[in-house]
Amino acid sequence: MSAYSRIYQGLTRGGMPAPEAAAELAALRAELGAELAAGLQAYAAEQYAAQPTDTRATTRMNKRKYGVAFQSAQWVTRATTTGRLTTTPNQRDHRSNP
């Protein structure tokens, strides 16, 4: 049984309090974000590694692309640990517009 199934069954059957389920879901989200960021960093290191035949311009371009990928991986880690990816914007009621 997956962790998500266990949490869902715990909530629906009443065996798990909501704060505990939220904490477990947050831990799973952080773990997923860390794995995703590690994969992105490994891909960037492999994709943009310096080759002996690269010119200086190509090396600079690859360094810049690697930096962007690394910053993206850091954002993924930060966003999944703080839970900012799971918040939805406020929905507007279409009837309230004149």
Assigned domain for 22 exists = yes
Mean pLDDT of 13-19: 88
Owning domain of residue 37 = 3-85
Domain assignment present for 90: no
Average pLDDT estimate for 27-34: 91
Q: Is residue 94 part of a domain?
A: no
Token pair 């990928």: residue: 69
Closest CA to 48 of 35, 64, 36, 37: 64
pLDDT value at position 42?
96
Residue 57, in any domain of the structure: yes
Taking residues 3-18, what's their average pLDDT? 88
Look at residue 46 and tell me if it is in a domain. yes
67 located within any domain = yes
Selection from 83, 88, 87 nearest residue 32 by Cα: 83
Per-residue pLDDT tens digits for 42-98: 999 999 999 999 999 999 999 999 999 999 999 999 888 887 665 666 666 666 655
Geometric angle at alpha carbon 39, from 37 and 45, rounded to 5°: 100
Q: How far apart are CA 35 and CA 56, in angstroms?
A: 33
The long-range contacts involving 54-63, CB below 8 angstroms and separated by at least 24 positions, are none
> Which pLDDT score, from 0 to 100, does residue 84 have?
67
